[in-house]
Structure 1
Amino acid sequence: MAEDPETEFLPIVEETVSLSTRRVVTGRVRIATRTEELDHVLPAELSSVEVDVTRVSVDRKIDAIPDVVTEGELTIIPVVEERLVVTRELYLREEIHIRRVERTETVEVEATTRRQTSQIERLPADPAPFQNKDDQDDL
């Protein structure tokens, strides 16, 4: 087809776009932990039993050896002896009385525990070094 001098051409132009991504450090985080010790005072109950011994003089004639007797917190242990008379007779020489007394007291016991804490610090990003001038213009 021959070109007509009267015909004008209008060029058609099209733009295209391309997208690319790259990783950029925008910030950093520093985390530090430390262990601390906490001292506690804990209550504890301690029990103890005290024994009070009393000797009770009796010096009484008996026919048989008495048994050990316990009455509540009191225990009575008979102590006997034989005495020579024309005949043998038993005499209750003394009794030993043992009384138990229980006491309770609250004491404070020291104990140490540990726990960790952390500290988080946000740091700015290091500026990325540019490799050439063209990369700097793209920003």
Structure 2
Amino acid sequence: MTEPPEKLSLIEERLVVDKRPVSDGRLRVSTTTTSVTELAEARLGGEDVEVTRVAVGREVAEAPGIRTEGDVTIVPVMEEILVVEKRLVLAEEIRIRRIATIEDVSIPVELRKQRATIERTEE
């Protein structure tokens, strides 16, 4: 007779990880604040601007650009003004000439005439 083959069993282990809260004790946290005054030092730079308006009142053919003379920047301010000019212009002439004419005319006209007759009567 033949012997049955031997059986081999395989075993496997599995790991399952789980967590649960556990209290080990309590903590109390408090803070204390202290103030310290220190001087902060810095050098600050700046610029002051001086604005001066200068009236010019001059007619120009075109607008001048912004220019710099020394440490002064000059910004032109333009304005348009309406100029109304009244001129006397001779538009035309009308010429009238008198020409004397003589014309003989015959027109039939109906005229009324009244005559008075005076008679004396004796009484």
Superposition TM-score tier, normalisation by shorter sequence: 0.3 to 0.5
Q: Relative contact order (C-alpha < 8 Å, sep 6+): which is higher?
A: 1
| TM norm structure 1 | 0.31
Determine which structure has the larger helix proportion and give its number.
1
Larger Rg: 2
| TM norm structure 2 | 0.35
